[in-house]
A and B are shown apart, each in its own frame.
Chain A
């Protein structure tokens, strides 16, 4: 396990690169879903005001 984490002495680079990629993908994936939620709520409130 320690060997696996150490990555032959390159652990810092390998894990930070994978961490960065994970964060980037998560942000890319989550951002439009959050935006959709916010927008739908806003439109729903506006629609309720109209009625």
Chain B
């Protein structure tokens, strides 16, 4: 337990995060890109067409990871919002600022691929059902998180308002998840649930799993990269940033004292 608390405390230090995160960012970018490349090639060229949907089901290898990731990003933002409201942790607010535009883009990709999949499969791209509407609401929530911060001039009240919106908006996540069970929707229920036998053929699990893992890694890399930008922006006047700039932004950052 000690190391968890220790890491949590260190995570609160923008300088510590900035110093250690570059290699994580690069690693996640590379691993993520490689996994998506392999997963997509596999999904496009090396699995047979599905019985009912034909080849358009291959879209699900990029749709499902985006949908899952969009919801995960939102939950992470909501947790950060709670942490910020309770402990006033600056890094939590910066995480929201970094992740919200990324979440917006991922949700847009999820909706766009869903529409393109719906055209041949449902006969129309967009249907107004509980799953699609709650996912559209997720897009609006991400947009709200970005817009609200820009709408409030002073950073501190802006951060509090954004954190509050993030926490309140999390009620939409179970709505998305259970929308296909609570309501009668055209969108089918999940085919893969943790701890249950998947309802899709095993050959399809490989490209889906690789793409999902790849999306998570790559986008985690992007969130870290965006967080580094936020940190540098807000700490621009700090001593360690000046030192770092004076060393031509290359030298190692000064070690942060333990404890």
A-B contact pairs, 24 of them (CB 8 A): A7-B55, A7-B56, A7-B58, A8-B54, A8-B55, A13-B117, A14-B55, A14-B56, A14-B58, A17-B117, A24-B106, A24-B109, A24-B112, A25-B215, A27-B105, A28-B219, A31-B222, A32-B226, A32-B229, A35-B229, A39-B233, A40-B232, A40-B249, A43-B245
**A contact set with B: CB distance below 8 Å:** 4, 7-11, 13-14, 16-18, 20-21, 24-25, 27-29, 31-33, 35-36, 39-40, 43-44, 47
Would you call B228 an interface residue if the criterion is a C-beta within 8 Å of the partner chain's C-beta atoms?
yes
Query: How far, in Å, is B25 (CB) from chain A's closest CB?
Result: 9
Give which listed residue, A11, A20, A47, contacts B113 with CB less than 8 A. Answer: A20
Q: A27-B105, A43-B232 in contact; A10/B54 too (CB < 8 A)?
A: yes
Check B54 against A9 for contact (C-beta < 8 Å): yes
Taking CB atoms and an 8 Å cut-off, the chain B residues in 71-127 that contact chain A are 98, 101-102, 105-106, 108-109, 112-113, 116-117, 119-120
Size of interface on B: residues with Cβ below 8 Å to A: 45
Q: Is B169 an interface residue (CB 8 A)?
A: no
Q: How far is the CA of A9 from the CA of B242 in the complex (A)?
A: 59
Q: Are B229 and A29 in contact (CB under 8 A)?
A: no
Number of A-B pairs, beta carbon distance below 8 Å: 102
With A13-B117, A28-B102, A28-B105 known to touch, is A47 a contact of B246 (CB < 8 Å)?
Answer: yes
CA distance A31 to B36 in the complex (A): 19
Given contacts A4-B45, A8-B55, contact A16 B228 (CB under 8 A): no
CA distance A47 to B120 in the complex (A): 57
Contact of A10 with B102 in the complex, beta carbons under 8 Å: no
User: B210 to chain A: which residues have CB within 8 Å?
Assistant: none
* Most central of B29, B120, B228, B229 by chain A CB within 10 Å: B229
